[in-house]
């Protein structure tokens, strides 16, 4: 996200000043003109000092659920004392956190941030983007483009994933398989990583932040996506439909698949649809469609006959 921010900032007539809070020195970012402030999230006084002149605080913290919770709660407490005006916790997903166990810490952070907002007037927003379209690049061997070279990517896959780790979620593009939520017809919002960054960058210029700012790269069901992939790759896919009861049973039988199945159930129930707040606010942002993304990263890729394999669960 930061590299897209910097690229857009270089073209802006009203650029922003970016400061990165990091547990370690980041000389490669400092070389690009980013002010890096090393912090320990367990040191409240240090965090307050680091945030004293910050207007807008964006959290993109990842890692384990506990680490995400603890670090963000520390940020919320420091932001309150430092007088931060806008705060966006690390959301970037579907429409809610309640039905997905792994996201319960996100709900705790949101509750804490809302309490600070009510007390101080700090505006808090949830950036919602549906599912990361970029995961569809997992497994591609396409060459890096000029965009990737600019950002330091070594492979096309690294460029296309744009900071995500490779992950075959529901669809395995190389194996030619799809483990669908329900019958695969539920509409879902898909947004590419650099488009997410572009929407968030533009949101920085808004005076008022509503509680939810959604963005849409494209709206497609898994069945729609499969039609695109099969046409581009020129082969049939092995497809399995999973009822909600079947997915609940799979989650109960394997703790490592709880997140995977809770998300799939949520998708059937409409979790993947988020509002187009930022599309309406910034119509000049033209996000990549699913068809364009699949064409770019899979057209001309030689694939074999589809076969089921063992995909690693997220947790």
Q: What is the pLDDT along the chain (315 residues), one digit of tens a residue?
A: 888 999 999 999 999 999 999 988 888 888 888 899 999 999 999 999 999 999 999 999 887 888 899 999 999 999 999 999 999 999 999 999 999 999 999 999 999 999 999 999 999 999 999 999 999 999 999 999 999 999 999 999 999 999 999 999 999 999 999 999 999 999 999 999 999 999 999 999 999 999 999 999 999 999 999 999 999 999 999 999 999 999 999 988 787 899 999 999 999 999 999 999 999 999 999 999 999 999 999 999 888 899 997 765 554
Are 111 and 244 in the same domain?
no
With respect to residue 304, please indicate whether it lies within any of the assigned structural domains. no
Nearest to 307 by CA among 137, 141, 168, 172: 172
Q: Which residues contact 96 (CB under 8 A, 6 or more apart)?
A: 271
Q: What stretch of H or E contains 197? A: helix 193-203
Residue 12, domain member (yes or no): yes
What is the span of the domain harbouring residue 154?
Answer: 131-192+217-273+286-296
Q: How far apart are CA 75 and CA 89, in angstroms?
A: 9
- Say whether 139 sits in a helix, a strand or coil: coil
Asked if residue 209 and residue 91 are part of one domain, the reply reads: yes
CB–CB of 94/272 below 8 Å?
yes
Are residue 119 and residue 224 in the same domain, yes or no?
no
CA distance 176 to 139: 11
Residues 307 and 291: their CA atoms lie apart, in Å, by: 23
Same domain for 165 and 115, yes or no, is no
CATH at residue 63: 3.40.50.720
**Both structure tokens of 111:** 């509750």
Count of structural domains, the chain: 2
Tell me if 303 is assigned to some domain. Answer: no
Contact 181, 223 (CB under 8 A): no
User: Given the DSSP bridges, would you call strands 126-128 and 123-124 parallel, antiparallel or unpaired?
Assistant: unpaired
C-alpha to C-alpha distance for 186 and 265, rounded to whole angstroms: 11
Same domain, 95 and 37: yes
């Amino acid at each position: 996200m930061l590299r897209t921010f910097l690229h857009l900032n270089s073209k802006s007539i009203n650029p922003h000043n970016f400061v990165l809070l990091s547990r370690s020195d980041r000389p490669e970012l400092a070389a690009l003109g980013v002010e890096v402030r090393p912090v320990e999230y367990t040191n409240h006084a240090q965090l307050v000092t680091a945030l004293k002149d910050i207007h807008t605080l964006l959290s993109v913290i990842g890692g384990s659920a506990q680490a995400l919770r603890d670090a963000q709660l520390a940020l919320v407490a420091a932001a309150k004392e430092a007088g931060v005006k806008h705060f966006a916790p690390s959301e970037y997903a579907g429409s809610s956190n309640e039905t997905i166990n792994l996201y319960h810490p996100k709900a705790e952070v949101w509750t804490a941030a809302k309490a600070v907002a009510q007390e101080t007037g700090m505006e808090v927003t949830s950036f919602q983007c549906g599912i990361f379209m970029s995961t569809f690049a997992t497994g591609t061997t396409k060459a890096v483009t000029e965009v990737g070279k600019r950002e330091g990517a070594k492979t096309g896959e690294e460029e296309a994933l744009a900071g995500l780790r490779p992950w075959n979620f529901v669809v395995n593009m190389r194996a030619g398989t799809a483990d669908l939520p329900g019958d695969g017809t539920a509409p879902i919002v898909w947004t590419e990583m650099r488009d997410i960054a572009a929407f968030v960058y533009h949101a920085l210029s808004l005076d008022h932040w509503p509680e939810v700012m959604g963005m849409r790269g494209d709206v497609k069901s898994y069945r729609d996506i499969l039609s695109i992939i099969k046409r581009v790759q020129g082969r049939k896919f092995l497809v399995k439909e999973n009822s909600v009861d079947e997915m609940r049973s799979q989650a109960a039988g394997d703790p490592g698949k709880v997140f995977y199945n809770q998300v799939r159930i949520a998708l059937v129930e409409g979790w993947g649809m988020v509002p187009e707040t930022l599309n309406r606010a910034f119509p000049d942002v033209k996000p990549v469609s699913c068809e364009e993304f699949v064409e770019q990263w899979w057209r001309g890729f030689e694939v074999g006959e589809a076969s089921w394999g063992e995909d690693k669960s997220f947790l």
